[in-house]
Amino acid sequence: MLYIVALNSSLSANWGMNTDTSPQNNFPGALKLARKACNVSQEAFGLVSSRTYVSSLERGIGQPTLNKVDELASVLGIEPLTLLALAYLHGEGPDAQEALMADVANELSQLLARPVTFKFT
């Protein structure tokens, strides 16, 4: 089992604006944890990024685009959402993981149930 210790505070559960200005994710820690858990070196990202770029992401110096998250996750052999979920996991152990997934499932259900004119492309 994979456990992660969260380094940041929880997001508010309401749909309003979050007034906390501190970072709400720990992408640097998530990338490093996933990379080590998948036994992938920084050099292995050579086809999608330089080792120095991956190192800068793990040190919190850079912030990846969603396209880059897709590429990084592909090298790790995991879903991009798994990498992002690790970044937003607040707490440790299976209870924190289940709570995050339940929140995501609930929010997706609520969003998709709203009448909106939009087509996925």
Q: What is the pLDDT of residues 54-82, one digit of tens each?
A: 999 999 999 999 999 999 999 999 999 99
pLDDT for 114 equals 87
Residue ranges covered by each domain of the chain: 27-90
pLDDT for 18 equals 55
| 33 close to 3: Cβ distance less than 8 angstroms | no
pTM of this prediction?
0.76
- Could you please state the CATH topology (level 3) that the domain comprising 27-90 is classified under: 434 Repressor (Amino-terminal Domain) (1.10.260)
Torsion (CA) 31, 32, 33, 39 in degrees, nearest 10? 110
pLDDT-wise least confident of 6-10, 17-21, 39-43, 57-61: 6-10
Tokens linked to 98: 């289940």
Q: Helix, strand, coil % (nearest 5) of the chain?
A: 55, 0, 45
Residue 12, pLDDT > 50, answer: no
